[in-house]
Amino acid sequence: MTDPANREGESPTARQRRVWDKSAPSYDRQIALLEKVWFAGGREWLGRRARGRVLEVAIGTGRNLPHYRPEVTLTGLELSPAMLAVARSRAADLGREVDLREGDAERLPFADSSFDTVVCALSLCSIPEPAAAIAEMHRVLVPGGTLLLVDHIGSSWPPVRAGQWLLERITIRAAGEHFTRRQLPLVKAAGFQIVETERRKAGSIERIHARKPAPPAAG
């Protein structure tokens, strides 16, 4: 019998698209309590730091949209058409102009140095190749540009981390969702300079503010 979470011949990216398409209608209801208890303040933290031409990778249903400053220019990329449809509706309800596009975080459909800020929230935990996605974020940022990440990671408290590891035995197979990943080493390996980091909730939530280095001045 074929496992419906792992269809024969289906790529990891195709599986993620299918999983999120299925989750889209109920996603906002499912995450609302978690946001209050576990992720509280993360979206506001992102919005306060985003400047200029902003790309949000894996924008999902657009839950960050209310928190961006009015003056920023927003582009949102999302793998799931169903999630993107919810984001379009949310943007319309907010009266917010956003260039929303379907696409893959590991292959961003934008030219080099296109954005001043790249944002990704609660998504690198399920992107199949997070290092590839972070390298793409580096590529599309201008020199001196800002990377802003919020995600759940492996806890710094061993009992919580053990529980996360056990939970992953189910969630990775069912939905490609990881709980013990940590993005900070990947951000450093991609060539970013760390501006600030913060771990919360027994070290299981991490906020990262990083910068793409500007080339040295000539002369």
In what helix (H) or strand (E) does residue 163 lie, and over which residues does it extend? helix 158-175
**Spatial contact of 128 and 12, defined as CB atoms under 8 Å apart:** yes
Which pLDDT value is given to residue 4? 44
Instruction: Give dist(CA 116, CA 53) in Å, integer.
Output: 5
pLDDT reading at 170 higher than 90? yes
Confidence label for 218 from pLDDT (cuts 50, 70 and 90): low
Q: Is the pLDDT of residue 5 over 80?
A: no
Structural domains of the chain, ranges and CATH numbers in brackets: 12-211 (3.40.50.150)
What integer pLDDT is reported at residue 37 of this predicted model? 85
